[in-house]
Amino acid sequence: MSEPNILLTRIDNRLIHGQVGVTWTMTLGANLILVADDETANNKTVQEIMSLTAESSGASTRFWTIEKTINTVHKAAPRQKIFIVCKTPHEARLLIEGGVPIHELNVGNMHFSKGKHQISKKVYVDDDDLTDFKAIEEKGVNVFIQDVPGDMKEKIKY
Amino acid sequence: MKFILTGHGPFAEGLSGAVKMVGGTALTCDVVPFLDDEASVFGKKLRSIIREASSSDGAVVFCDLMGGTPFNQAMAEAVSFDNIEVVAGANMPMLLECLLTYSPGESAQDIARKAVNAGRFGVVDGKVAMANKHDEEFEGDGI
């Protein structure tokens, strides 16, 4: 079976919102936004609202748990151009270690919370985040910080 | 192809700023605001920008309101050129769609048609949209 066509994976605290549902999806030419998040997978209302946002870009949406994503994504048809979104680097790491063929990881929004320090305009991290990023990069994934297409890409500085 | 954004007061700057926030700073338009204290020179300024665009690839002029001064001035100039279109009722979905999906070679008419479509489809009653949403079924393989 051929690899699912995953155009990009993005870490964004807000999952699907304007920049993701419209800008990134249109720029990538994705027709399927796959939100890999255990909490969202169990919240129908949030799913409905997020899929409205995605509608404006013409993409379909899936809201799956991390486990379901790992087990099911390889069944994608070749015509499906997938954009995966998850909340944190830890979830991205679980997907990658679970065998989801992710080659490019875009770091979008990681909000401030206590104990985190700022490494880019929209990105705050703590030591656990950095450990996850290191593990991801060691697997050969290209990790870059970029809020919207057209912004300069930055690498994670450890 | 030029994307010219015009309207009353802070409309054009405001919309332009919002478009950049969602769509990225690469999405630039020529912003020509119609301000009270510039009323006497606005028309000349807008029309000269449009004329300049017409001599290269053309332009689409996005205006806030049909019948307002920005729209009237734009139309007065646009009628002389085949590669200039004017769209009134400019909104976020319209600008985002036109700027994000622009490909070189698109005519001003193509863009204007896209603009009207996107602008209209972007006007949504949230709760009605949610109520009308049904789970999609797809045929064949895939996820």
Interface test with B, best of A26, A33, A153 (most B CBs within 10 A): A26
Query: Which of A26, A80, A147 is opposite residue B142, by nearest beta carbon?
Result: A80
Kindly state whether residue B140 falls inside one of the protein's structural domains: no
Q: Which residue has the higher pLDDT, B116 or A57?
A: B116
SS3 annotation, A19-68: HHHHHHHHHHCCCEEEEECHHHHCCHHHHHHHHHHHHCCCCEEEEECHHH
Provide the pLDDT for residue B139.
56
Q: What Rg, from alpha-carbon coordinates, does chain A have?
A: 15
Query: Which of A26, A34, A48 is opposite residue B100, by nearest beta carbon?
Result: A26
Which residue type, as a one-letter code, is found at position B93?
Answer: P
As given in the structure block, the two tokens for residue A107 are 């770091």
As given in the structure block, the two tokens for residue B113 are 């048609």
Provide the pLDDT for residue B135.
60
Number of structural domains chain B divides into: 1
Kindly state whether residue B133 falls inside one of the protein's structural domains: no
As given in the structure block, the two tokens for residue B106 are 């698109």
Residue B2 forms beta bridges with which residues?
B59
For each of chain B's 143 residues, which pLDDT tens digit applies? 999 999 999 999 999 999 999 998 888 899 999 998 888 899 999 999 999 999 999 999 999 999 999 999 999 999 999 999 999 999 999 999 999 989 999 999 999 999 999 999 899 998 888 887 766 655 567 88
Kindly state whether residue B61 falls inside one of the protein's structural domains: yes
Q: For residue B27, list chain A residues with Cβ-Cβ distance below 8 A.
A: 150
- The C-alpha atoms of residue A86 and residue A36 are separated, in whole angstroms, by 5
Kindly state whether residue B143 falls inside one of the protein's structural domains: no
Q: Do A56 and B122 touch (CB under 8 A)?
A: yes
- Among B44, B39, B33, smallest CA distance to B11 is for B33
DSSP letter at A1 equals -
- The C-alpha atoms of residue A66 and residue A89 are separated, in whole angstroms, by 13
Task: Give the CA dihedral B84, B90, B91, B96, nearest 10 degrees.
Answer: 10
CB pairs under 8 A between A and B: 63
- Residue A6, class by beta-carbon neighbours within 10 Å (0-12 exposed, 13-18 middle, 19+ buried)? buried
Kindly state whether residue B131 falls inside one of the protein's structural domains: no
H-only helix segments in chain B: 11-23, 39-54, 69-78, 92-100, 108-121, 126-132
Provide the pLDDT for residue A1.
56
- The C-alpha atoms of residue A49 and residue B24 are separated, in whole angstroms, by 23
Which residue type, as a one-letter code, is found at position B107?
Answer: S
As given in the structure block, the two tokens for residue A33 are 């936004």
Alpha carbon A48 to its chain centroid, in Å, reads 19
CA-based nearest distance B129→chain A, Å: 8
Whether the predicted pLDDT of A17 surpasses 90: no
Q: Do B22 and A22 touch (CB under 8 A)?
A: yes
Q: Do B96 and A23 touch (CB under 8 A)?
A: yes
- The C-alpha atoms of residue A56 and residue A53 are separated, in whole angstroms, by 6
Kindly state whether residue B142 falls inside one of the protein's structural domains: no
Q: In terms of DSSP bridges, do strands B2-8 and B30-34 run parallel, antiparallel, or are they unpaired?
A: parallel
- As a whole number, mean pLDDT of residues A36-58 equals 89
Domain of residue B16, CATH code? 3.40.50.510
- The C-alpha atoms of residue B62 and residue B7 are separated, in whole angstroms, by 8
Q: What's the pTM?
A: 0.83
- As a whole number, mean pLDDT of residues A90-114 equals 96
H or E stretch at B140: none
Q: For residue A75, list chain B residues with Cβ-Cβ distance below 8 A.
A: 141-143
Q: Do A148 and B136 touch (CB under 8 A)?
A: no
- Among B64, B59, B94, smallest CA distance to B77 is for B59
- Residues for chain A: how many in total? 158
Kindly state whether residue B134 falls inside one of the protein's structural domains: no
Provide the pLDDT for residue A2.
76
- As a whole number, mean pLDDT of residues A59-64 equals 94
Q: Do B143 and A149 touch (CB under 8 A)?
A: no
CA-based nearest distance B34→chain A, Å: 28
Domains annotated for chain A, with CATH where assigned, are 5-145 (3.40.35.10)
Burial B127-138 (b: 16+ CB within 10 A, else e): eeeeeeeeeeee
Q: Do A32 and B143 touch (CB under 8 A)?
A: yes
The residues of A carrying an active-site annotation are 17
Reported as a single tens digit per residue, the pLDDT across A108-147 is 999 999 999 999 999 999 999 999 999 999 999 999 999 9
Kindly state whether residue B50 falls inside one of the protein's structural domains: yes
Geometric angle at alpha carbon A101, from A31 and A128, rounded to 5°: 105
Residues of A with CB under 8 A from a CB of B: 4, 18-19, 22-23, 26-27, 32, 34, 48-49, 51-52, 56, 60, 62, 72-73, 75-77, 79-80, 147-151
* % chain A with pLDDT above 70: 99
Alpha carbon A77 to its chain centroid, in Å, reads 20
For the question of an ipTM over 0.95, the answer is no
User: Domain range holding B75?
Assistant: 2-123
Nearest-by-CA chain A residue for B122: A56
Nearest-by-CA chain B residue for A149: B24
- As a whole number, mean pLDDT of residues A13-38 equals 91
Q: In terms of DSSP bridges, do strands A104-109 and A142-145 run parallel, antiparallel, or are they unpaired?
A: parallel
